[in-house]
Amino acid sequence: MARRFSNSSSGQRFGLYHKTVTSKCCESSSITELEHGPQQLCSSMLGLVSPKPATILSYFLKKFSLFITLLFQKRFTLYIRTFYLSTVITLVFAAFFMYDCIWLGYRYSNRRNRRKTMRKQNHFRRFAAALLTIIMISTLCSPALAARDDADKGIDLKIAVMSDTHYLSPNMIKDTSDYTDALNSDRKLLTESSEINLKLLDAVREDKPDILLISGDLTKDGELEGHKEFSARLQQVQKDVPGMKVYVINGNHDIRNENAKNFNTPDGKAVPATRTQPEDFASVYDFVYSDSSIVARYTPPQGKESGQLSYVAEPCKGVTLIALDTCCYSADNTSDNDNEHETRGEMSPELVAWATEQIKAAKAKGNHVIGLSHHGFVPHFSMEPDILKMYLVKDYGTIAAQLADAGLEMIFTGHMHANDIAVMTTKSGNTLYDVETGSNLTYPSPMRFVQLREVSGSLVAAVNTLNHIGPVSYYNAVSGKYETIADVTEYGREHGFTVDMLNTVAGSFVGSFLNKFVPVENSVSTWINGRIIANLQSIITEGVNIPVTDTKTLLDAVNYIYQSHLGGEDDGDYPDWVQAGLNKIKSGEILDQLLSIIKKHAFGDAASSVKFDNIFTKAVKAKINDYIYKIADSMGNDTNFTDDNDALIVLDGKLDIRPVIITTGTVPVSAPAIVENGVCTVFPTSNMMRTIGASGKTVIIDASVTGADTVNVWERGVSALSAASSVRFTTANGSAEFESSVLTSGGDVSVSVGTAQPNAVQKRALGEKLDSAQLFLVSAAAGGRSINAQCSLGVPVKTDGCVAAAIADDGTIKATGSSVSGNWLTCSTKTGIMTAVTGFPFADVPTNAWYFGDAYYAYNNALFAGTSANTFSPNVTMTRGMLVTVLWRMEGSPKAAAPTFSDTRGIWCSSAVGWAAANGIVNGFDKDNFAPNATVTREQMAAILYRYAAFKGIDVSAAADLGNFADFESVSVYARSAMAWAAAEGIINGTTDGRLMPSSGATRAQVAAILHRYIENCIF
């Protein structure tokens, strides 16, 4: 007896309604049929009201569509994709299995149908089990597939780098004398800091890097309130760029800084802000320190604190990042053994040992190692160890060599507020690049974008710098107004050293500077220092205004040289006025004037004046003068690594790096390029685009000297090129120019101008010109996807009188609007379509004419010649003799009996007419008259071609309904079958107004078109 639910059964308890029906197999037995399907069952079990099936379907389709869209985003690996797809398929089959058990299991109540149902269930279960087994195997194999996928791809890591953000909360700013003093002692754009940092974080959002690095001094002076606000901003950016990781390290300003102040107080007096302890830093940036990519953290020995914020991360497969806390803020490494910050940097022996061990372990895994720290490991100008050693890690030479020999290849640093790259090589031949990034808040307010990518087994770092951000709008708490900075870089240039700033800070340098050169007793040194400092304001005010030219002062020269170093523009190529100032420094003229000013203001009495002169002897002045000149020349003339803003660095391996010229036709710049296997990968940057004035113009990338036929540009370079209206890629074979908007769909761009290989149809289109034709094919891709777009093709040509035609794979011929200047042809073509350059002498065939392709085809295949050497006469009607001659030539000009028509004997077409008549292709008007010079009509032409096709053994049974043409009744009876056939084969298409015009004369252009269609549609 079939099981059934009663009102008291579990079916009712689950909310399943039933009805009793009569079985057709056994009328005496009753069965229960579920009134609702599995959808209602699930809803009922959940105690929900059952929605409509269409709603359920729509909901799941939307969710499934969203799932698939998200799944195939770049950040998902093959493993994740395979796993989740396998899971979804498994769940689908599980749902079907439930359906099988619940729905089919209760459908029939009698034994016979139950056995039939069980057999169906068993078949389904076997199928489902087999399929699920395959799914599980594929899921288990997916990590191996993913590993192979990653291995094939290699390292490709996009990095954004910021440094010395010096965030000061707007809530802590107020127009007070204390805040003014703070501004006068600092070059930082503190009032503007909040919005400038936001603007740069917006650049991060736009770039969508894999990781963001910040190399210390995140806050002005370690205000905990500022750290919390800045951390919140970083976390928001991380949410806005899914998958991006953030790594920070502390700077000298960030931890235990007594200068942490809140200037926004009721009485206008600055009060201490909350000082940040090391553990506070780790807590505030816990989203960094607790990230799953962090694989190790440094723990100082008992009783020590220094270096405790150091850690190791693995941001992607094949790359290890070691972040080093090089700051001095604890008693175990500060100069006075106090828990107060210092500017200088130091690494304890234990931290050096730990870092070395971590780097070696990473190298043992096969990883490349990069670093992050606040202080420098390689001097960024030759005099830095002498005058600004606090910006380098103590004992930098020994430590840098040890870490480089362990395997550290590149380290991102800050602190100096300069954009500079320096390099050192150890005695063992290992190289370390120190990539120093300038501050957001001092000229030129940069940030860096770096891409690490494996190229042919070598690891390449493409470094470029973003400057000139803007506009930036901010609330100026000092002026009480909202203001806008159009260009932050230029704004920062105007905020260099000022008289007020020098008056505030210069006093702390006077003593140490003079003590270095003046060999006197301490009491005398103290007397000199005291006199100078007491009169410092007058000395500085007059000293900075020493003229170097008629319009420029010493302060102008100091700011120019210093800012050239900060901006990575220290190439030693000075403007004339700066060079004039340097010449005056070198000659000692500037020093003499400075000492004269000091003497006047600080040692004016006779006795002091004599004493001053006795101290500053000629020898002492010479030493001071040489020292000042060395500093100036060192900062303005980089001799270590000259490409400080935009650089292409090969970290591991060897690649062929060559310069490639990029220009708009006037100002050229040289860009680095990797050349291998006929491919030239060029690295344009936004700085280059600004230099050449690319905005709204055509940018030309000339890679022809490399011999490559393909030009590649990485994604960030493509973004830089978007400033141009169009981009021309010049290769060894020619050039292809695209609108820049076509290239910016995402990812790397590749453009190739290669030699095309014609197929059979294209060869027929070229006919007798095949061997002499120059054949080109432009191909382009963005993000691995083909670009299907128009472009301007430029190619060298061998002879005059050339024309370019685009010949598609199906043989369609289109004019390209080509023009020739000298030996260079320019035309408009499309990617993926062969462009053929051949001789085509007919000046009366416009390239935009509807019949261009047909005339081109007829000429290439010698169907008929021109009416002169350079005229085709497309609108001249064709004669009957001409048409027959064309067909005769197509047959190879066979010998034939003399024509029977008296009007064709001994004339230019007699052989052709004789051959056509002998083979039944033409009949003539009567036995004596063929009328060779009469205009051939459209219906005559159809009839001749119809008979010619039959002669060739071509099926001529196709027939179109001529009734579709308005003038079909005017077709002569003898020509109707031929016209119906010609219309069916697409040989004669009728006019634009739907007429056949059978009795109209056919022009040479029309005949060329008809013969072209006939050959391609009927013969081939």
pLDDT, tens digit, for every residue of 264-305? 999 999 999 999 999 999 999 999 999 999 999 999 999 999
The pLDDT of residue 126 is 55
Q: What are the structural domains, with CATH classification, of the chain?
A: 42-150 (no CATH), 156-485 (3.60.21.10), 497-636 (no CATH), 655-842 (no CATH), 880-1019 (no CATH)
Q: How confident is the model at residue 127 (pLDDT cuts 50, 70, 90)?
A: low
Q: Which of 276, 212, 204 is nearest to 248 (CA)?
A: 212
Q: How confident is the model at residue 898 (pLDDT cuts 50, 70, 90)?
A: confident
DSSP letter (8 states) at residue 936: P
Q: How confident is the model at residue 80 (pLDDT cuts 50, 70, 90)?
A: very low
**Percent of the chain beyond pLDDT 70?**
85
Q: How confident is the model at residue 798 (pLDDT cuts 50, 70, 90)?
A: confident
Q: Which of 785, 784, 789, 779 is nearest to 832 (CA)?
A: 779
Helix (H) or strand (E) holding 661: strand 657-663
Residues 860, 769 contacting (CB under 8 angstroms): yes
The pLDDT of residue 23 is 35
**Percent of the chain beyond pLDDT 90?**
72
Does residue 1016 register a pLDDT over 70? yes
Least confident range of 18-22, 129-133, 561-565:
18-22
User: In the 3-class helix/strand/coil scheme, how is 599-612 assigned residue by residue?
Assistant: HHHHCCCHHHHHHH
Does residue 668 register a pLDDT over 90? yes
Does residue 863 register a pLDDT over 80? yes
The pLDDT of residue 252 is 98
Q: What does the block give as tokens for 947?
A: 């008979």
Mean pLDDT for 839-853 is 91
Helix (H) or strand (E) holding 586: helix 576-587
Mean pLDDT for 146-175 is 82
174 CB-near residues (< 8 Å, 6+ apart): 263, 264, 265, 268, 477
Q: How confident is the model at residue 3 (pLDDT cuts 50, 70, 90)?
A: very low
- Alpha-carbon torsion, ordered 59, 63, 64, 69, to 10 deg: 140
DSSP helix/strand/coil, 218: coil
Query: What residues pair up with 821 in beta bridges, in sequence order?
Result: 824
Long-range contacts of 606-610 (CB under 8 A, 24+ apart): 608/531
Tens digit of pLDDT for each residue in 448-461? 999 999 999 899 99
Q: Which of left, alpha, beta for 305 (phi over 0: left; psi -120 to 50: alpha)? A: alpha
Mean pLDDT for 479-490 is 95
Mean pLDDT for 82-86 is 52
Tens digit of pLDDT for each residue in 313-365? 999 999 999 999 999 999 999 999 999 999 999 999 999 999 999 999 999 99
d(CA 250, CA 327) in angstroms, rounded, equals 7
Q: How confident is the model at residue 89 (pLDDT cuts 50, 70, 90)?
A: low
Mean pLDDT for 747-775 is 96
The pLDDT of residue 8 is 36
548 CB-near residues (< 8 Å, 6+ apart): 554, 556, 557, 577, 578, 580, 581, 584, 590
Tens digit of pLDDT for each residue in 628-654? 999 999 999 999 999 999 999 999 888
Least confident range of 4-8, 512-516, 839-843, 926-930:
4-8
The pLDDT of residue 140 is 44
Q: How confident is the model at residue 505 (pLDDT cuts 50, 70, 90)?
A: confident
Tens digit of pLDDT for each residue in 538-571? 999 999 999 999 999 999 999 999 999 999 999 9
Q: What residue spans of 312-458 are helical by DSSP H?
A: 349-364, 384-387, 396-406
> In the chain, how long is the greatest CA-to-CA distance?
138
Q: What does the block give as tokens for 737?
A: 């120019």
Tens digit of pLDDT for each residue in 392-414? 999 999 999 999 999 999 999 99
The pLDDT of residue 153 is 66
Mean pLDDT for 61-74 is 48
* Cα angle value 949/952/955 (rounded, 5°): 55
Q: How confident is the model at residue 530 (pLDDT cuts 50, 70, 90)?
A: confident
Q: Which of 307, 310, 311 is nearest to 327 (CA)?
A: 307
d(CA 122, CA 990) in angstroms, rounded, equals 65
DSSP helix/strand/coil, 643: coil
pTM for this model (two decimals): 0.80
Q: Which residue has the higher pLDDT, 105 or 312?
A: 312
Mean pLDDT for 722-747 is 96
The pLDDT of residue 520 is 72
Residue type, 381: F
Does residue 50 register a pLDDT over 50? no
